Amino acid sequence: MSPPDGTRPAPSAATSDAAGAGSRPPATSPPAVCLEFGDAEHVLRVEPWGADSVRVRSARHRVRDDLPGALSAPPAAVAAELGVGPHGSRILTVGRLRVELSPQGHLRFVRTQDGTELLRESVGHFAWPGPRTFTPVGGGRYQLDQRFASCDGEQFFGLGQHSHGRLDHKHMVIDLVQRNGEVTIPFALSSRGYGLLWNLPAVGRVELAANQTRWVADAADQIDYWITTGPTPAGIMANYADATGHAPVLPEWALGLWQSRLRYRTQEELLDVAREYRRRELPLSVIAVDFFHWPHLGDWRFDTADWPDPAGMVAELAGMGVRPLLSVWPSVSVVSENYRPMRDEQLLLGTEHGQPFQHVFPDTQVGGEPLPVVFYDPTDERARDYIWSRIKRNYYDLGFRLWWLDACEPEMYPEQFGNLRYAAGPGRAVANLYPREHVRGFFEHMRAEGEDVPVSLVRSAWSGSQAYGAALWSGDIPATFEALAAQVCAGLSAGLSGIPWWTTDIGGFHGGDPDDPDYRELLIRWFQFAVFCPLLRMHGHREPRDAIPADRSGGPNELWSYGEDAYRILTRQLRLRQDLRAYLHRQMVAAADSGAPVIRPLFFDFPGDPAAWTVEDQFLCGPDLLIAPVTRLGERRRQVYLPAGADWRASATGTDHAGGQTITADAPLERIPVFVRRGAAMDVVFPG
């Protein structure tokens, strides 16, 4: 394969799934059973791609197989049939999914057993544009538009993780771009009974409007999407996991408490906190070594002035049953020891115009002044190998095994996609790949070192990140009740996007005064919500806050930092989390096996209850626990909907309730409403 546009060395064959395009796109042979269409404007191919699923690709001249995307290798052959329909249409049937191709080249997707329409293409105008448009943007690429009909009452779920506070994305425009706290995963689960993956890492948007649904890529080679159906949302998610990769089983130790604040400035400060947890007999699983532990950003090693004996620190923590979480950024400062060799070997993101820098970041060695930084290119296998060589020598060989891949969108202001050049192609065409390829590098190198289940905490993800041990957290969010309410939808959306390992900064990131009674209430309510999330993580930049970087650690953020009353509630909730770990681990096994999210909306397990599709402020933790978070200051009672199809027992009182009704539940500060599905085996003591 020739280098993309002749400007970057081509990736090796090992990373050809993310390789860039050569100047002469190769032709591909269609499968034996598929639908094809062609006219003067474009060609179209529809082929089976897994159980009850098809892949649709359309290009100006020829369909290509060598472009980056989220789909795994072609699945094993599935039973598929070709047929002829009315009015000259052609039909492809793959299990529960039937695809109809009209003589005009328009597609309609229906449920095989009853002919119910799931989705159909729509045209922009009777003459032009049609359902698929290709607008040249230079370099042989196009702005791509794919149009579908809009249906009244249709709901869309998934689509990554967003801060807008809604679970249903209908009537919204969602940018397909990675940002701090905004994670784009272009998979939508529809209430009409299908799932659609926009299999393009290009920057763009999806418009879920009243008059039309439209997927847009700003610059790409061909339209590429995958559609599936199933009898239930669980069936659709299982097909999606088969197509993009199953998550491993999250290790049991990861279900305990993860502790951090803005940062622990020194080795001794971090150890003192871990020792205090042990002295108080509070179970602790993970403690974070955060940013500025390095001399310069991109050195990927410790500043020995503040961290004189990292190996000894790891050993002491291990004796307490605690694992250190090590912050690794993808950024390389111009004064880093790695900048010149990476630049010379073309391992950094390239630029089309101007200086080769994408951001600035403070450097503690020059008084906190911001210096230019550039980002390494994880779509190049050589760059992933280079990073790991430093990580192994400076961290892994000292005993570190758990990675905090912060700022891995990557974070840059202003956004510069049109100016960036990756090994995989132009920035506008491939930028959304970055977080997946970044975590992939750590996962694959850890596996090569013999680690069974590598775990990385990440701030961004793309479709398929789950297969590489990505534990997503929701980024730098406000410390408000409004943000807490939005986190419920954000976590559920991430799960319905295929990411089962999810967490949030308890109490929010930006602010929070540990001495403020109102903030203490927020932290308590947030912790109560997080107890039922896949990961339980204390983090945030608490008051008193200083400019970053300062010669400080940020405000206190340990369980004992919020007063005796809060401490009593938090420690009781932590004991509840310990009791839940066996149940949660079973859900992690189920997530790895079937793609079922650990926390999920009520409709996931009760799709036959119409009311369950409208509830956005409650969730199920596994199949047997219904959680009703409290997201308003001073709220001590709240309405709870109990889905039809099961009876429910209030965990605090033992009172039984029939499903299919809304009740008023008590929510004292000590606990939030939790209900157990009647008949479930639950060996847990819930706070009364």
195 closest CA partner among 42, 70, 64, 68 = 70
Q: What is the DSSP string of 240-280?
A: HHHHH----PPPGGGGSEEE--S---SHHHHHHHHHHHHHT
Measured between alpha carbons, how far is 522 from 632 in angstroms, rounded to an integer? 8
CB 290 within 8 A of CB 260: yes
Q: Which residue has the tokens 């990580």?
A: 391
Q: Could you give the CA distance from residue 224 to residue 217 in angstroms, rounded to a whole number?
A: 10
Q: Are 583 and 286 in contact (CB under 8 A)?
A: no
> Is there a contact between 197 and 458 (Cβ–Cβ < 8 Å)?
no
Query: Active-site residue among 47, 406, 437, 605?
Result: 406
Which residue type does 233 have?
Answer: P
Q: Residue 142 in contact with residue 134, Cβ under 8 Å?
A: yes
406 is catalytic: yes
Rounded to an integer, what distance in angstroms lies between the CA atom of residue 39 and that of residue 238?
36
Secondary structure letter of residue 491 according to DSSP: H
Sort 605 into a burial class: Cβ within 10 Å, 0-12 / 13-18 / 19+. buried
**What's the CA dihedral at 369, 370, 371, 376 to 10 degrees?**
140
Q: At what angle do helices 310-319 and 267-279 cross, to 10 degrees?
A: 10
Contact in structure between 439 and 454 (CB atoms under 8 Å): no
130 is written with which tokens?
A: 């049609």
DSSP class of residue 167 equals S
Q: Which of 47, 409, 437, 605 is catalytic?
A: 409
- Catalytic annotation present for 5: no
CA dihedral 436, 258, 294, 304 (to 10 degrees): -140
Which one is catalytic: 476, 521, 605, 624? 476
Sequence-ordered alpha helix ranges (H) in 73-156: none
Measured distance CA(145)–CA(147) in Å, rounded? 6
Annotate 177-216 with b (16+ C-beta within 10 A) or e (fewer).
Answer: bbbbbbbbbbbbbbbbbbbbbbbbbbbbebbbeeeebbbb
Tokens of 238: 């299982």
Half-sphere exposure of 507 (CA within 13 A, CB side): 32
C-alpha 191/C-alpha 154 separation (Å) is 6
Q: How far apart are CA 603 and CA 132, in angstroms?
A: 33
Q: What is the longest distance spanned by two Cα atoms in the chain?
A: 78
397: CB partners within 8 A, 6+ apart? none
Mark 275-306 as b/e (b = at least 16 C-beta within 10 Å): eebeeeebbbbbbbbbbbbbbbbbbbbbbeeb
Count of beta carbons in the 10 Å neighbourhood of residue 160: 29
Task: Check if 476 is active-site.
Answer: yes
Cα separation of 657 and 6, whole Å? 67
What tokens does 597 get?
């999210």
Q: Tell me 291's DSSP state.
A: T
Residues designated as active site: 406, 409, 476
